[in-house]
A and B are shown apart, each in its own frame.
Chain A
Amino acid sequence: AQSVTQLDSHVSVSEGTPVLLRCNYSSSYSPSLFWYVQHPNKGLQLLLKYTSAATLVKGINGFEAEFKKSETSFHLTKPSAHMSDAAEYFCVVSERGGSYIPTFGRGTSLIVHP
Chain B
Amino acid sequence: DTAVSQTPKYLVTQMGNDKSIKCEQNLGHDTMYWYKQDSKKFLKIMFSYNNKELIINETVPNRFSPKSPDKAHLNLHINSLELGDSAVYFCASSPQSGANVLTFGAGSRLTVL
Contact = CB atoms under 8 A, between A and B. Distances in A.
Contact of B41 (A41, A46, A99, A106): A106
Contact of B98 (A36, A49, A96, A103): A96
Interface residues of A, number: 27
A24 to B, nearest CB: 17
Task: Tell me if A's interface is mostly helix, strand, loop or mixed.
Answer: strand
Interface residues of B, number: 24
B42 A107 contact: yes
Interface stretch (B59-67, B68-76, B100-108): B100-108
Interface in A36-51: 36, 38, 41-46, 49, 51
Given A36-B104, A45-B104, 5 more contacts: A36-B102, A43-B90, A43-B105, A44-B90, A51-B99
Interface of A: 31-32, 34, 36, 38, 41-46, 49, 51, 88, 90, 94-96, 99-104, 106-107, 109
